[in-house]
Amino acid sequence: MAAGRLRTVVSRVAQAIPVVIGVVVVTFLLTRMLPGDPAAYFAGAAADAQSIAEIRTALGLDRPLHEQFVFYVGDLLQGDLGQSISTGQPVAVELARRLPASLELTLLALLLSCAVALPLGILAATRPGSLADHACRVLVTAGVSLPTFFTGLALIYVFYYLLGWAPAPLGRLDFVYLEPPRVTGFFLIDAALIGDWQTWWGALRQIVLPAVTLALFTLAPLARMTRAAMLQALSSDFVRTARAAGLRRSTVLYTYAFRNALLPVITTLGMVFSFTLGANVLVEKVFAWPGIGSYAVDALVVSDYAAVQGFVLTMALLFVALNLLIDIAYTLIDPRIGFDG
Amino acid sequence: MTENSFSRAAPSRRSFLQMSGAMAAGAGVLPFLKVLPASAQADETVVVVTGQTINSLDLHRTGTNRASYQVAVNCYDRLVSFGTKELPDGSLSYDYATIVPELAESWEISEDAIVFKLKPDATFFDGTPVTAEDVRWSFERAVSVGGFPTVQMKAGLLEKPEQFEALDEHTFKVNLLRPSKLTLPDLAVPVPIVLNSALAKENATADDPWATEFVHQNTIGSGAFRVVRWDPGQQLVYERNDDWKGGPLPGARRVIVREVPNPSNRRALVVRGDVQMSFGIPNKDAQELADNPDLEVFSTPIENCIHCIGLNYAFEPFQDPDVRKAVAYAIPYADIFQTAAYGRGAPMWGGSGEIESIAWPQPFPYATDLDKAKAHLDKSGYASGFEVPISISIDLDWMEPTALLLQESLAKIGIATTIEKIPGANWRTAALVEKRLPLHLENFGGWLNTPCYYFFWAYKEGHLFNSSNYANPEVERLVDETLHMPMDDPAYAPKIKRLFEIAFEDLPRIPLWQPALNVATNGATGYEYWFHRQLDARGLARS
């Protein structure tokens, strides 16, 4: 069984290769089709035609497109994502620093979101039409209909500006702290690893508001999906049989119904995760969070080709990995599901 | 804030670092927050928030953005600098009329050269003395790297490496191509900085002879501050150079520049006093915070800078002088100034038409008068009106409200408009390089504060900021004659007044207002306005 699983994992990775090649070609072409002219932009306000031409040559943008592509792929094969002109840093370095920031925020938000959404969804499904069900509906509707930047600003206004409970919205750490030595890039984990609980506390205080903002937004799909899947599972034949056989209520609910309802929930979770990671740019902007969403948007605005390509490629790889993980999770939850089926 | 972070007694990584840092004090570049206990730091640390991103420590590098110019100002010295003056409202501003020493101790100007004597005791951060050869190498770098630094050097007629000579250890000579009043001021702008040439050369490569990659990440100057920490996209930390010889020692030991993209958060931070300065606040905040007793709000009109409406001569109706005047009378100036600028800055309309001084910018002799506008349009070849798009950039926040009010007003005299929004990366190419936008909004501000310099960039044929394709032989001649002429030459003022007259009549650009740079402080003193519109941290202190 384990060998079979390994083989399927390898074959899934192999299947991802054409996808990645496609992403590389498409992002290269799409960035070149952007209407802006990076040479003119980066030459600065007072540049003349000659200095723009000098910069175009320096950036290698005067060469034919196919030549630029060959250079790009050659660098890529050596693991070099190029140099971002707008931030002046190598794209790989920048992404390696920013991706953990986004991942830490998104994962914590999803954890929070799951901790609320799953029990809420189960509660709503077991008592449809009850007060709990209506409360669930109100919460998720509010969560999804308030734009994240609004929730974020409102939370900052109340908890920082009015009450003074939350720290200043200044990114991942207030400036009196040192960044913990980098192991995972997740400040909460890195600080815990060396036992620096002051920094850990500082990092936690910074992350709470943005994580809650994102969690509120991601609550809705998870809670609704849990409720729907649980309702379906609870009305299915095997649950009726289990009940008829006199199994305990908790066994029926969790072992039979919830495990079966988990598949669509996991699928939703995967979708919400990848969506949030790319789309939390508004939250990042509001909380000055140095994540990849704001990096990508800033790069796009100034036609910073290398940065945009690096971002899309990273997201594509992440997405492939995520799908693989979810597929593996399926087989763990439900042994009937095979990769080939 | 987290005043508890230094107070725990248990030996932590931080307290250990504090101890080791105290021992290592003075040993060159120190990592962040390892030298002083928190209480002492708070008194001497100024925290500034800004919405801009600093993307390089090297102004000369390709792709360095405007926000990064502050590093050149704070960490490097020039030969000379501008003095300081007090404005009528009591705030401080640089003084274009006064040139003061920075690295140079004295200088002599002759017909064909300027010879500078350098301060003998000035040193770079690593302790090596600043020599004339460093200056020569740095100037050669500025005129050779291409792009913006080279263009700016050229504005002061500093074009060729052969112009720069190190006569001895402390004597440096600039050979002039021709005498110009712009040369000395151009040596005081952020571009001609002096770098540690020996250190730079050690880190240069065949592909990168000017060590831009090294200087991009390291400050190697002799300036008031050095950068001890830079997290791109997040923060920049300056630490004072106690051996600075360029001017009086800054009051702040450390200045932290934090990037906060969201303007409402920047406002909340400065209002609560968690930061001491918010740099470049929106006009709206400046207006609303002006009455807050805790804050000081500075709104300084930016010298030699005008927000204006461009009428492109390549677009046929705008070749008709009556159409241009019709537009000038139809603009709802006051509404635009209140809505788009919240009344911050200086109005540029409603002048008397009498040109009494050569002060620039000065109000044009037009005001909102729809009857006059209609009369001019009736006289023109387009009495029944015409259609034209108003082009604006998405990135510049004053443009959209301005365009909407303009659209409404032009409709009343029969000019139908649509608003065309152009993305930031495209705007420059469309407006300034291709000059293809018929009716557009434009802004130009010259670093060198003389009217002829403004006309050189914005009214001469083919020049970058002449986005209206304006061409007038008399303007060409007058600008060429006045550009390098001393301003106290008796021939200067009449020629400049003639230029103003032509600008009033021909209207390729219709000024709206002179924009302001807004800064709010809470607990910091010594803010000074500079033409480069970036933070000059050298005067800052905690109050």
For residue B502, how many other CB atoms are within 10 A of its CB?
A: 18
B243, B123 Cβ separation under 8 angstroms = yes
Are residues A68 and A103 part of one domain? no
Q: Is the pLDDT of residue B422 over 70?
A: yes
The answer as to whether A82 is a domain residue is no
The answer as to whether A250 is a domain residue is yes
Give chain A's end-to-end CA distance (angstroms, integer).
Answer: 15
Are residues A134 and A246 part of one domain? yes
**Mean pLDDT of all residues in A267-290:** 85
Are residues A313 and A164 part of one domain? yes
The answer as to whether A26 is a domain residue is yes
Are residues A181 and A316 part of one domain? yes
Cα gap B115→B195, rounded to integer Å: 19
* Portion 125-154 of B in contact with A at CB < 8 A: 146-148, 150-152
What confidence category does residue B14 fall into, taking pLDDT thresholds of 50, 70 and 90? very low
What confidence category does residue A45 fall into, taking pLDDT thresholds of 50, 70 and 90? low
Measured between CA atoms, the residue of chain B closest to residue A295 is: B233
For the ranges A45-54, A328-337, B114-123, B366-375, the lowest mean pLDDT is seen at A45-54
Q: What is the pLDDT of residue A105?
A: 92
Are residues A17 and A143 part of one domain? no
Chain A: nearest CA to B262, how far in angstroms? 5
Q: Name the residue with higher pLDDT: A97 or B520.
A: B520
Counting residues of chain A whose pLDDT is more than 90, the rounded percentage is: 9
Beta carbons of B13 and A178 less than 8 Å apart: yes
What pairs with residue B388 in β-bridges? B417
Beta carbons of B56 and A43 less than 8 Å apart: no
Cα gap A189→A199, rounded to integer Å: 11
The answer as to whether A83 is a domain residue is no
For B42-63, what is each residue's pLDDT tens digit? 788 999 999 988 989 999 988 7
Chain A: nearest CA to B146, how far in angstroms? 6
Are residues A9 and A107 part of one domain? no
What is the domain partition of chain B in residue ranges? 35-270+521-542, 305-514
Are residues A211 and A110 part of one domain? yes
The answer as to whether A339 is a domain residue is no
Chain A residues in contact with B262 (beta carbon < 8 A): 153, 169, 285-288
Q: Is B292 on the interface with A (CB under 8 A)?
A: no
Q: What is the pLDDT of residue A341?
A: 41
Cα gap B446→B328, rounded to integer Å: 24
Chain A residues in contact with B65 (beta carbon < 8 A): 86
Q: What is the pLDDT of residue B41?
A: 59
Q: What is the pLDDT of residue B23?
A: 36
Cα gap B430→A265, rounded to integer Å: 49
Supply the range of the domain harboring residue A217: 96-333
Q: Name the residue with higher pLDDT: A81 or B425.
A: A81
Cα gap B487→B450, rounded to integer Å: 8
B272: which residues sit within 8 A by CB, 6+ positions away? A160, A161, A164, A168
Q: Is the pLDDT of residue A46 over 80?
A: no
What pairs with residue B524 in β-bridges? B542
**Mean pLDDT of all residues in B489-511:** 95
The answer as to whether A87 is a domain residue is no
B295, B302 Cβ separation under 8 angstroms = no
The answer as to whether A222 is a domain residue is yes
Fold of B35-270+521-542: D-Maltodextrin-Binding Protein; domain 2 (3.40.190)
Are residues A118 and A25 part of one domain? no
Are residues A109 and A16 part of one domain? no
A133, A141 Cβ separation under 8 angstroms = no
**Residue B148 is nearest to which of A44, A169, A295, comparing CB atoms?**
A44
Q: Is the pLDDT of residue A264 over 60?
A: yes
Q: Is the pLDDT of residue A33 over 70?
A: yes
Are residues A222 and A114 part of one domain? yes
Measured between CA atoms, the residue of chain B closest to residue A282 is: B262
Fold of B305-514: Dipeptide-binding Protein; domain 3 (3.10.105)
State chain B's mean pLDDT as an integer.
Answer: 89
Bridge-based pairing of strands B415-422 and B386-393 is parallel
Beta carbons of B425 and A54 less than 8 Å apart: no
Counting residues of chain B whose pLDDT is more than 90, the rounded percentage is: 79
Are residues A111 and A65 part of one domain? no
Count of structural domains within chain A = 2
Are residues A114 and A67 part of one domain? no
For residue A100, how many other CB atoms are within 10 A of its CB?
A: 22
Chain A residues in contact with B66 (beta carbon < 8 A): 44-45
Which DSSP helix (H) or strand (E) runs through B393? Answer: strand B386-393
Q: What is the pLDDT of residue B474?
A: 96
Cα gap B187→B193, rounded to integer Å: 9
Beta carbons of A170 and B150 less than 8 Å apart: no
Q: Is B201 on the interface with A (CB under 8 A)?
A: no
